[in-house]
Amino acid sequence: MRRRDFISLLGGAAVTWPLTAAAQQRTNSKRLAVFSPSHPSVDLHSHSENIGSRALFAELRRLGQVEGHNLKVEAYGRDQNSSGPEALAAEIVRSNPDVIFIIGPGAPFFKKLTSLIPIVVITGDPVKTGIAESLAHPGGNFTGVSIDAGVSIHGKRIELLREIVPTMSKLGCLALRWSWNGPVSGPAIRAAAEAAGLPLAVGLVEFGASEADYRTAIESIAREGAHAILVVDSPEVDQNKTLIVRLIGNANLPAIFTHLNYVEAGGLMAYSFDLIELFTRAADTIDAILRGAKPGDIPIYQVTKFELSINLKTAKQLRLSVPPALAARADKVIE
C-alpha cells in the first residue's frame, strides 16, 4: 500500500471511529422514566432549574450517568397527564424503561402494573402503601426514599403552630385530595390532630386545580373557623406555593409548611426536610440499579433531619408575637 493511500485510509478511520463509538454509546444508553404528574415535563430533565432535578442529575452526572450521553431520560409530567396519573403510569410501564423514578404519590398505581421493572420512589410510608416489606429489606421491585416520619412529624408541626398561635382551637388542612384520601398523609394528620385535641377544617384540591379552586378551599377553611393552616406536602400543591402563600395571607391565617421555599415566598413557618439530600440519595439508588443492584436489596432511606424556618416579617403582618425561644431554635429566620 502506498503511503498516501495509508494516510487517506487512516484519516477515514479517524473520522469513523468516534462516530461508531458515539453510535454504540447511544445504543447502549439506559432509559430512566421520571413520573411526576404535577411538574411540567421540562422540570424533569438535567437542564431544569427545579431544585430537586438539579440535585438528582448533578449526582447522577457525578456517578457517570449523563443525560444525552449514556442515559436517556423520558419525562412524564403535567403535559402528559391529561388522562390522569393512573393512565400515565400504565403508559410508562408499557414502554418498559430500565428504571422508573416516581416523585410524590403514585407508587400504588405502579405496584398494580409491574413487579419486574425496578422503581425508585420519593414517597410517604412505603410499608403502609404496600410497596415494601420493610425499610431495611424492601423486597420486590421498589426502593428509594421515605419522607414520612409517621404521626410524630405532623404532631411536631402542630406543636410549633401552637407556640406561635397559643389560642388555636381548630386546625385547617390544605391538601391534594389524592394524598389526603390515601393510606399515609390523611390518617397520620388526623391522628396527630386528635392527639392534640384539635378538630380539623379540611380543604381539598384536585390535580390541575385552578386559582379559583385554591381560593375556594382556603376560604372554606377560614369559614369553618380554623385559626391556622397546615399545608400538606405534595408536588401538586408545591407547584402552587406562591399562589397558596398569597391566598392564605389574604385570609389572614398563620400557616406551617413542609418546605423552606414557602417561607422564602412569604409563608409564616416551615418544618422541612432537605430536598437536595432526598434527590441526591434517590440518584445514588438509581445509579446502583443501573449498575445491576436489585431494588429489593437496597434499604429505603427515611428522613430523620428536619429544619425549622420562620418569616418574622410575615409574623408581624399577622400581628403575631414569635416567642424568643422559638426564634432561637429556628435554623433559618427571615427578618
pLDDT value of residue 149: 67
Instruction: Please write the tens of the pLDDT for every residue from 158-186.
Output: 999 999 999 999 999 999 998 898 777 88
pLDDT value of residue 25: 45
Instruction: Give which of 253, 215, 207 is closest to 234, Cα–Cα.
Output: 207
pLDDT at residue 119 tops 90: yes
- Do 64 and 96 fall within a single domain? yes
Helix (H) or strand (E) holding 205: strand 200-205
Instruction: Give which of 285, 248, 256, 287 is closest to 272, Cα–Cα.
Output: 256
Q: Which domain holds residue 78?
A: 3-147+276-302
- Do 194 and 314 fall within a single domain? yes
- Do 185 and 47 fall within a single domain? no
Average pLDDT over residues 78-98: 93
CB 39 within 8 Å of CB 50: yes
Higher-pLDDT residue of 74, 14: 74
pLDDT value of residue 8: 40
- Do 84 and 160 fall within a single domain? no
- Do 187 and 316 fall within a single domain? yes
pLDDT value of residue 19: 42
- Do 211 and 84 fall within a single domain? no
Helix axis angle, 151-164 to 185-195, nearest 10° = 50
- Do 8 and 63 fall within a single domain? yes
Q: Which cell numbers hold the place of 73?
A: 431520560
- Do 107 and 38 fall within a single domain? yes
CB 70 within 8 Å of CB 46: no
Q: In the sheet that 332-334 helps form, which strands lie side by side, from edge to edge? A: 200-205, 171-176, 228-231, 255-257, 269-272, 307-311, 332-334
Q: Where are the alpha helices (DSSP H) in the chain?
A: 3-27, 51-62, 85-95, 107-113, 151-164, 177-180, 185-195, 211-223, 235-238, 241-250, 260-264, 275-290, 312-317, 324-329
pLDDT value of residue 56: 97
- Global pTM reads 0.84
CATH for 252: 3.40.50.2300
- Do 59 and 78 fall within a single domain? yes
Higher-pLDDT residue of 20, 164: 164
pLDDT value of residue 22: 44
Average pLDDT over residues 47-61: 95
- Residue 11 makes CB contacts below 8 A (sequence gap 6+) with none
Q: How many domains does the chain have?
A: 2
- Do 227 and 281 fall within a single domain? no
- pLDDT range class, residue 66, cuts 50, 70, 90: very high
Instruction: Please write the tens of the pLDDT for every residue from 199-243.
Output: 999 999 998 899 999 999 999 999 999 999 999 988 889 889 999
- Do 241 and 156 fall within a single domain? yes
pLDDT at residue 26 tops 70: no
- Do 156 and 43 fall within a single domain? no
- Residue 4 makes CB contacts below 8 A (sequence gap 6+) with none
Q: Could you give the CA distance from residue 280 to residue 265 in angstroms, rounded to a whole number?
A: 24
Instruction: Please write the tens of the pLDDT for every residue from 270-285.
Output: 999 888 999 999 999 9
Q: Could you give the CA distance from residue 190 to residue 175 in angstroms, rounded to a whole number?
A: 13
pLDDT value of residue 116: 97
Average pLDDT over residues 139-159: 90
